[in-house]
């Protein structure tokens, strides 16, 4: 069975269908090579047009999750997707590996209208309702980094999500969207940043920021993130090979 769609939801039917298909293909029978039902059958079960289900399936083909075989049908791609992920997938695990475990001092999420900056990165209209998440991490009760994230509405994340655990693992396991790429921008904030109070620092300590756009294999936006680090506690290190491609990147405690 495939879960039904909410025809009254503001989330487009093709996005709901894509999410339902992602959930369906994780079942053992499809991982073992069973063919997916025909497009016409899936459309009938979901109460949508064949065109809409095809749009959803095309997205999964582009993401490398499905393979269409002419004369045979559509199957789950059991060949692992090769990515070039580094430590960006879990900041907490990275810090644990470096022997600098951090604790979550505060975590909250809410729904809000996307401002112009968030809308530009996520590719939505300003004012579009999105789920926002804020996490304050620290050591021995002292804050050292503030993370904010905004998620594309097609993920269908509800306001009730508590985001307890590794963020990208939650997105993959609960919302069946696989983060594959991260594009980042790094810089420094001016003295007027209101997050100084949240980080417990005065104007003598610089703030390092990292902007991050996380996308799936087809380049569709998943999350726009903004991290503010105490620059007296962290630096960003990167190794570049002779051919010019970045090898590793990490935020390193000082």
What is the per-residue pLDDT across 113-151, written as a single tens digit (0 to 9) for each?
999 999 999 999 999 999 999 999 887 788 888 999 999
- 141 and 246 part of one domain: yes
User: In which residue are the tokens 């590793």 written?
Assistant: 248
- At which of 55, 76, 97 does a domain end? 76
- 43 and 105 part of one domain: no
* Structural domain total, the chain: 2
- 33 and 136 part of one domain: no
Residue 214's pLDDT is 93
Q: Are strands 142-151 and 221-230 parallel, antiparallel or unpaired?
A: antiparallel
Answer yes or no: is pLDDT of 23 > 90: no
- 48 and 144 part of one domain: no
Residue 34's pLDDT is 86
- 223 and 170 part of one domain: yes
- At which of 76, 107, 125 does a domain end? 76
- 108 and 195 part of one domain: yes
Answer yes or no: is pLDDT of 194 > 80: yes
Enclosing domain of residue 32: 13-76
Cβ 183 vs Cβ 233: under 8 Å: no
| Average pLDDT score, the chain | 83
CATH number of residue 36's parent domain: 1.10.10.10
Residue 5 lies in a domain: no
- At which of 21, 55, 76 does a domain end? 76
207: Cβ contacts below 8 Å, ≥ 6 apart: 188, 189, 193, 195, 196, 199, 201, 228, 229, 230, 231
Whether pTM > 0.85 for this model: the answer is no
Tokens in use for 194? 């209101």
Residue 38 lies in a domain: yes
- 47 and 127 part of one domain: no
Residue 156 lies in a domain: yes
- 67 and 127 part of one domain: no
- 233 and 114 part of one domain: yes
- 161 and 239 part of one domain: yes
- 96 and 179 part of one domain: yes
Cβ 210 vs Cβ 227: under 8 Å: yes
- 104 and 142 part of one domain: yes
CA distances from 121 to 11, 48, 165, 226, 227 (A): 19, 30, 25, 11, 15
């Amino acid at each position: 069975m495939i879960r039904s769609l909410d025809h009254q939801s503001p989330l487009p039917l093709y996005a709901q269908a894509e999410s339902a298909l992602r959930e369906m293909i994780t079942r053992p029978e499809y991982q073992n090579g069973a063919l997916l039902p025909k497009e016409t059958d899936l459309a009938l079960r979901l109460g949508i047009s064949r065109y809409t289900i095809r749009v959803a399936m095309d997205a999964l083909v582009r993401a490398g999750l499905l393979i269409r075989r002419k004369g045979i049908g559509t199957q789950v791609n059991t060949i692992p997707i090769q990515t070039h992920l580094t430590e960006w997938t879990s900041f907490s695990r990275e810090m644990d590996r470096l022997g600098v475990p951090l604790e979550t001092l505060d975590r909250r999420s809410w729904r809000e209208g996307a401002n112009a900056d968030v809308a530009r990165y996520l590719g939505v209209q300003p004012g579009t309702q999105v789920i926002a998440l804020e996490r304050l991490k620290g050591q021995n009760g002292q804050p050292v980094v503030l993370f904010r994230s905004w998620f594309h509405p097609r993920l269908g994340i509800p306001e009730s999500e508590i985001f307890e655990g590794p963020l990208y693992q939650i997105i993959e396991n609960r919302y069946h969207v696989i983060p594959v790429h991260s594009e980042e921008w790094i810089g420094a904030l001016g003295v007027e940043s209101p997050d100084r109070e949240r980080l417990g620092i005065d104007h003598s300590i610089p703030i390092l920021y990292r902007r991050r756009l996380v996308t799936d294999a087809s380049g569709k936006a998943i999350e726009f993130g903004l991290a503010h680090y105490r620059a007296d506690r962290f630096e960003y290190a990167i190794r570049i090979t002779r051919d010019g491609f970045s090898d590793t990147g990490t935020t390193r405690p000082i």
